[in-house]
Amino acid sequence: MASALLSTSLFLPSRSKQIKARSFTVFEDRGDTGGFRVRSSRSSFHGELLSKANLVRREISSSARGRLEIASVVTQRETVVPDPDYRIPIVLLGMAGGLAYTNNLLPAAPVGLLGLLLLFQTTRVRFVFDNEALEVKVGEELQESGENVFVGGENRWKYSTFVNWELWWPNFPILVYFKETQTKPEGQVHFFPVIFNGKQLYDVMVERAGPSKTSGPK
């Protein structure tokens, strides 16, 4: 039995600049019956090259998606809501009671009213630190607080716009201040009474807005 290998095409340049591989057909001599029959016919490595290229593209695409997923996990930060702190309103109400007890009713009235206001605000106002901004919300369900009544705009400020911030005073935080350029380019100052856990507030401010130069709970 004899076999013959006939080449049907060679490596030739094409206009599409694709590689054309050798394709070949094997004819088998059928001996005494006469004639030939096709034993196998196949194309060389052109299809193999394409399949390998597709595999490489899939691997690169999969790797790129993996890198993007890792990056999103690294940059995503949890939302932090400092606990309410009733010390300031309690102190103010105590001072008002002491003044009233000593018949100093004139100063007792505004101090008492301020204490009641802060007590009410402590039960409802929350600072919400999400991945990119500080936002003031209200209620246990963290509802929108609406527009800022003093300077306009949302009560939401991106950390990237913070110019400076401070927390007074470290051992008994009373007031938090920050300045941002989101509301207006020259900078807008905000003051809030610290009706939240001062340590939690300071830690998250340092993490999201950078360190404060002159203050911090001990």
pLDDT band at 72 (very low <50, low <70, confident <90, very high): very low
Higher per-residue confidence, 184 vs 47? 184
| pLDDT, tens digit (0-9, with 9 covering 90-100), for 84-140 | 999 999 999 999 999 999 999 999 999 999 999 999 999 999 999 999 999 999 998
For residue 139, give every residue at least 6 positions away whose Cβ sits within 8 Å of its Cβ, in sequence order, or none. 124, 126
Residues of the chain with CATH 2.30.29: 87-209
User: Residue 27, Cα to own-chain centre: how many angstroms?
Assistant: 66
**pLDDT for position 24:** 42
Q: Which of 36-40, 48-52, 146-150, 175-179 has the lowest mean pLDDT?
A: 48-52
| pLDDT, tens digit (0-9, with 9 covering 90-100), for 32-60 | 545 544 444 444 434 444 344 454 445 44
> How far apart are alpha carbons 89 and 122 in whole angstroms?
8
pLDDT band at 12 (very low <50, low <70, confident <90, very high): very low
Topology of domain 87-209, CATH:
PH-domain like (2.30.29)
Whether residue 82 is predicted with pLDDT greater than 60 in this model: the reply is yes
**pLDDT for position 76:** 82
Whether residue 160 is predicted with pLDDT greater than 70 in this model: the reply is yes
**pLDDT for position 153:** 82
